[in-house]
Chains A and B, each alone.
Chain A
Amino acid sequence: MDIQHIMGVVDASFAARQSIEKALRDIDRRALNAMVLVKRHGNALAGYGVVAQAFRERAAILKTSASHLQESIAPLIEAYMRILQHQRFVQSFQEMLSDSPLHGKACPNLISTQSKWQTTIHEEEATARKILVQLLEAVQTLQEGVEEQEYIVTNGRIEAALAESTGAPLMRVSRDMGEAVRTVAQAIRSYRHQLESLEHESSTRL
């Protein structure tokens, strides 16, 4: 792992955060749009009203899940940055030992310090891995939330078909909802790939 890789994850995380936030705002707006449409049509669209309400509630849950995602990103990056820093220390000690004419004999303290840093790095890598696993679990939760949202969109399409006679543009609303959910699903999927590559990189190195 190098700094470039970590910076790549930071960028991916930022982009994913932007994209998810925007898509979730979009989902929320579309849910509200559907609710406004339902309200304007009175009891005729009561069935779709339930769907729109569920869609908005799910969107709120997704928003909360996404915020948990963001909470874990900073500690993960921090952990990796610290690992990089400490690896640099270990490397420095290694260089000092290599450059010394009494290599391996004259500076037992130096060797001990290097060994301590190595242990610290292992501990930090374990912590980072733990955070990464938590993060992947959070992403998994988010993806499950998106799947539920997709299920609600499907229900919405059925309700829209049933209420077609009312003349309300519910099919279009459902399609918009579906698109918003697809956008957020795609953003999360690409983010997950980034995290998984990071995990793979970490475990390979380990």
Chain B
Amino acid sequence: MDMEILQDYLPEARELLEKAQDDTLRLESDPNNDEVLASVFRAFHTLKGGAGFLEAEHLVSWTHHLEDLLDKLRSHSLIVSGPMIDAILRGLDVIDDMLQQLASGENPSPGPEQLGQTIQNLALGKGPMESAAPPCSRPPAESMLLVSQRPTATGESGLFLEHSESAPHPESQSNPSGPHSEMAADEITGAEFEATLDALYGNKAPGMCDGPDSGNQNSGQISPEEFEQVLDQLYGQQAPGYVQPALGSAVCASSLESEQVTAELVLPTKSVRTETVQPREASGKATPPARSSATAQEAAETTLRVDAARLDAVMNQVGELVLLRNRLSSAIGSLGEENEDMLRIAREVDLTVNDIQSTVMRLRMQPCKRLFQQLPRVVRDASRQLGKEVALEIVGEDVEIDKAVVDALSGPMTHLLRNSLDHGVELPADRQAAGKARSAKISVAAVHLGDKVRIEVSDDGRGIDSQFVTRKAVDKGVITAEQAARLSEQEAVELIFRPGFSTNDQVTDISGRGVGMDVVKETVRKLRGRLDIQTKPGLGTSISMEFPLTMAVLPVLYLRLRREIYALPVSSIDSLVDIQESRIHRMSGRSVYRVDGTEVIPMVDLGRLLHDRPLHLGSEPIEGILTERGLIMVSEVLGNEDSVVKPIDFLTEQNWYQGATISGKGDVVLILDAGTLANHVIDHGDDSTIMDIFCKGAA
């Protein structure tokens, strides 16, 4: 297997696969859309072509069957049916598996025999839900032509057009080992071929005077030179994949379509490229490619595919540069105003590093579309399985976010949707009884919020019953009855994110293990994001996740706890407050702070948690950092800085830190995890200390 070709092939194949899945789902609602049918067909055709170069026989064979089915659909010999969509989607899953095998350096194993047979049967019109419409007028067997590529008598590679000996028997067509089975998808009718030739050559076609049935075999042959001439005539030197004739090129596959032509050229470097050419005019005159094609080509020329590992390396180096910048600023700052030149240089370095950081950050950004495109399939499959009717609305596909977030959120998004479908959305009859539309609505949205992106999954289902959730959590031993009694309504709803929690007593394909939502929460935590859930009984639930735009640099606030310095991510801070004794109250065994007339939040005494010695208001300086989940008490807030997070894997699983960083003064500073600190106080009250936790952990 040629690894260079493989490296080029895999990303393109995955993109094709994603697009094919998207298009297939579109076909379900718009089965007669020729453009979409052609697009899916082209995807399989291109996948097959690339697989051929890699000698992945089973992938070639599998895509061939699918291509065959799509060819029939495209020519309206068959019409799209539900079982066909199912089979195509399952076929796509098999291709995905095969691509994964290829990625791990293995030659793909054969696809599932039964599914393969089903696809072939469907292509032959033998499926369970055969096309209701009469098949399109199929040309007589005598007019069937086959295009093949073989060496000519002179030893050059040529395209050969042959009349089929007899009408292709359905059985022989479905048999992959048959003599022409590999070429089945390349079959075109004589009329189609003539139309294509007319479109290509007009009246100057070689052998124009000879009828197609003249029996002269040469009239059905074009040599590579002729083919190149045609391409030159069509595109000049702008042809996609054009190379100088001296270098030579081999035509590997050609699918001539009445509407579109897809040409795949193998360059000497063996890289596989696919270009789609816009439809030609019916007059048959050779016209330059359409404007959009030119634009696409220009875009292709200005786009560079770079290995993600290289980008990560650049990002890490920028991180180090940021740390150095911090140290330089700190060192120059300590000189005071003695040297204005140095101060000015430091400021300029600061601005330049900010620019570099922002530019490199943008390199890693990817549109949320990549994350969302799998969701229609998830909703389709799960809603069918559960017998529910759901309309999925996706908003903000163009919003960009760090690649790491896009990669990591694929699983959690699936969990969220499946969970929403299983627990949130009611059965159609129940919805009608509740005065709602039969079809539920699930909305997935990505919104840009300053230096964050919020991804929200909401439904108009039954909402979450906090009392039911609390009862289940106690039954399943997730929390004790005593802890349950202390929970606020919001905290009770958030129990759904606890590991091991599920409202289902039985495990199903969709849910019940109590893992999915925990995975969501853990993933959000690891991505330094924020998770929020809002629910209204009977009206629906909305789960939102907020992520920083970039994972590479973390703005932090430095704080002092007695003599030690810690950092807290700025993203977790609401504001800094002057703690007033009159606002401190005791409630359900824990200290709470009244922020304003309506909001009361738990107090997190950092001295008690980290030093095992509480901070005393009045006898030592204390400042408050207001976070979403609690008011963190510290000795002093020092200032903010952009930092680079270094992992601290050597600590136990249960710790209060997100990582460590190097401050501008060159000290190693631990970065606190505000969420974990607040959750601990919520769970255990503010009497337990770090020693209690670690003792429990050790036990």
> Which residues of A pack against B, CB within 8 Å?
25-26, 29, 32-33, 35-37, 39-45, 56, 166, 168
A41 to B639, CA, bound (A): 17
Establish whether residues B575 and A36, one from each chain, have CB atoms under 8 Å apart when the complex forms. yes
Residue B571 lies at the interface, judged by CB distance under 8 Å to chain A? yes
Write out the residue numbers on chain A whose beta carbons fall within 8 Å of the beta carbon of B623. Answer: 29
Establish whether residues A36 and B578, one from each chain, have CB atoms under 8 Å apart when the complex forms. no
A168 to B571, CA, bound (A): 14
Residue B576 lies at the interface, judged by CB distance under 8 Å to chain A? yes
A192 to B8, CA, bound (A): 77
A168 to B623, CA, bound (A): 24
B30 to chain A, nearest CB (A): 39
Establish whether residues B575 and A40, one from each chain, have CB atoms under 8 Å apart when the complex forms. no
Q: Which of B555, B578, B639 contacts A26 (CB 8 A)?
A: B578
Write out the residue numbers on chain B whose beta carbons fall within 8 Å of the beta carbon of A43. Answer: 358, 451
Q: Given A40-B451, A41-B450, A44-B450, verify A33-B576 contact (CB < 8 Å).
A: yes
Q: Which of A25, A26, A56, A166 contacts B450 (CB 8 A)?
A: A166
A32 to B574, CA, bound (A): 11
A45 to B577, CA, bound (A): 22
A-B contact pairs, 6 of them (CB 8 A): A29-B577, A33-B576, A35-B640, A37-B575, A40-B452, A41-B451
B364 to chain A, nearest CB (A): 15
Establish whether residues A42 and B575, one from each chain, have CB atoms under 8 Å apart when the complex forms. no
A52 to B353, CA, bound (A): 20
Q: Which of B545-584 contact A (CB under 8 A)?
A: 549, 555, 557, 570-571, 573, 575-578
By beta carbon, the residue of chain B nearest A44 is B450
Write out the residue numbers on chain B whose beta carbons fall within 8 Å of the beta carbon of A35. Answer: 640
Establish whether residues B637 and A32, one from each chain, have CB atoms under 8 Å apart when the complex forms. yes
Q: Given A29-B623, A32-B639, A166-B450, verify A39-B576 contact (CB < 8 Å).
A: no
A45 to B450, CA, bound (A): 9
B568 to chain A, nearest CB (A): 10
By beta carbon, the residue of chain B nearest A52 is B640
Establish whether residues B640 and A29, one from each chain, have CB atoms under 8 Å apart when the complex forms. no
**Which secondary structure dominates chain B's binding surface?**
strand
Contact size class for B?
10 to 19
B635 to chain A, nearest CB (A): 13
Interface string of B628-645 (1 = CB under 8 A from A): 000000000101100000
A191 to chain B, nearest CB (A): 22
Q: Given A26-B578, A39-B555, verify A32-B450 contact (CB < 8 Å).
A: no
Q: Given A29-B637, A32-B639, A36-B570, verify A42-B450 contact (CB < 8 Å).
A: yes
Establish whether residues A36 and B450, one from each chain, have CB atoms under 8 Å apart when the complex forms. no
Establish whether residues B451 and A32, one from each chain, have CB atoms under 8 Å apart when the complex forms. no
Establish whether residues A42 and B549, one from each chain, have CB atoms under 8 Å apart when the complex forms. yes
Establish whether residues B451 and A39, one from each chain, have CB atoms under 8 Å apart when the complex forms. yes
Establish whether residues B578 and A29, one from each chain, have CB atoms under 8 Å apart when the complex forms. yes
A40 to B554, CA, bound (A): 11
Q: Which of B345-388 contact A (CB under 8 A)?
A: 358
Q: Given A29-B623, A29-B637, verify A36-B576 contact (CB < 8 Å).
A: yes
Write out the residue numbers on chain B whose beta carbons fall within 8 Å of the beta carbon of A56. Answer: 639
A56 to B570, CA, bound (A): 17
Write out the residue numbers on chain A whose beta carbons fall within 8 Å of the beta carbon of B573. Answer: 36, 40
By beta carbon, the residue of chain B nearest A176 is B575
Write out the residue numbers on chain A whose beta carbons fall within 8 Å of the beta carbon of B577. Answer: 29
Interface string of B569-610 (1 = CB under 8 A from A): 011010111100000000000000000000000000000000
Write out the residue numbers on chain B whose beta carbons fall within 8 Å of the beta carbon of A25. Answer: 578
Q: Given A26-B578, A32-B640, A33-B576, verify A40-B358 contact (CB < 8 Å).
A: no
Write out the residue numbers on chain A whose beta carbons fall within 8 Å of the beta carbon of B578. Answer: 25-26, 29
A22 to B637, CA, bound (A): 14
Write out the residue numbers on chain A whose beta carbons fall within 8 Å of the beta carbon of B555. Answer: 39
By beta carbon, the residue of chain B nearest A166 is B450
B651 to chain A, nearest CB (A): 27
Establish whether residues A36 and B640, one from each chain, have CB atoms under 8 Å apart when the complex forms. yes
Q: Given A32-B557, A35-B640, verify A40-B570 contact (CB < 8 Å).
A: yes
B604 to chain A, nearest CB (A): 18
Establish whether residues B571 and A32, one from each chain, have CB atoms under 8 Å apart when the complex forms. no
A129 to B557, CA, bound (A): 45
A3 to chain B, nearest CB (A): 32
Write out the residue numbers on chain B whose beta carbons fall within 8 Å of the beta carbon of A45. Answer: 450
A39 to B555, CA, bound (A): 7
Write out the residue numbers on chain B whose beta carbons fall within 8 Å of the beta carbon of A39. Answer: 451, 555, 570, 640
Known: A32-B639, A37-B575, A42-B450. 14 other contacts (CB 8 A): A25-B578, A29-B576, A29-B637, A32-B576, A33-B575, A35-B640, A36-B570, A36-B576, A40-B451, A40-B570, A40-B571, A42-B452, A42-B549, A166-B450
B583 to chain A, nearest CB (A): 16
A43 to B555, CA, bound (A): 13
A39 to B643, CA, bound (A): 12
